[in-house]
Amino acid sequence: MSKKPEITKPEKRCQIDILVSGRGTNMTALIQAAMQPEYPAMVRRVISNRADAKALSVAEAAGIETLVVAHKDYDSREAHEAALAQVLDADRPDFICLAGYMRILTGDFVKLYSGRLVNIHPSLLPSFKGIDTHERALAAGMRIHGASVHFVSEGVDDGPVIAQAAVPVLVDDSAESLSARVLAAENRLYPRAVELLARGDVRLSNGRAVFSRMDETATDAALFSPALSE
């Protein structure tokens, strides 16, 4: 009878807080990854600026503590961020993951958590920063599209890239079909990027993402679209 492979548990799991505004599909991917004993990070809390965010009920069903810091309850963006910072400072997470958090953060807030604040964006940065990325990729005639996880900087979708995933753009794609394909890639990419952070394989230094070692899973394979014939 063969023995089951032993699961190697990390000596210390880093703590992450997740900021959400909507349904939280990438949040769910992070929570599911964190449920695996070998994963080097655990979700401390999910925080939303909207009380009606579907992500809150999803997180609660998974046994994750949630909190609402509603932006509409504050007179200014700075006042809202001060309340959010108070919560984060009490939690003391190692990393703060934006997962569909639909608020533009001020430079002061970003500086406060520099190197610990990360985001996922539905494009291959630096292309198509901002909104409507799938429509813009189609309008530009792109053959490759994708998603990026990056450190958050003071510019919108402008921080150093941690990890990316590419998907082909098909000739009959709509914005909806392309969005669904990219979202599936996002759900795999974000946990991988957080794993790199939690293991100390990447960090922010002097405005750049610095990697401590090469990704052992990387290959020389490339995604070609249209595909090359054999």
Residues designated as active site: 121
Alpha carbon distance 132, 213 (integer Å):
34
Distance between CA atoms of residues 99 and 169, nearest Å? 24
Q: What is the DSSP string of 137-157?
A: HHHTT-SEEEEEEEE--SSTT
- How far apart (Å, rounded) are the C-alpha atoms in residues 93 and 197? 13
Task: Look up residue 157 and give its two tokens.
Answer: 């979708």
- Shortest CA distance to 49 belongs to which of 26, 81, 75, 27? 81
Q: How many whole angstroms separate alpha carbon 26 and alpha carbon 18?
A: 10
Q: Which two tokens stand for residue 176?
A: 């909806």
Say how far apart CA 71 and CA 195 lie, in whole Å: 30
> How, if at all, do strands 117-121 and 144-151 pair?
antiparallel
Contact criterion met (CB below 8 Å) for 66 and 56? yes
133 in helix, strand or coil? helix
Report the alpha-carbon distance of residue 146 to residue 165 in Å, rounded: 5
Report d(CA 147, CA 190) in Å as an integer: 9
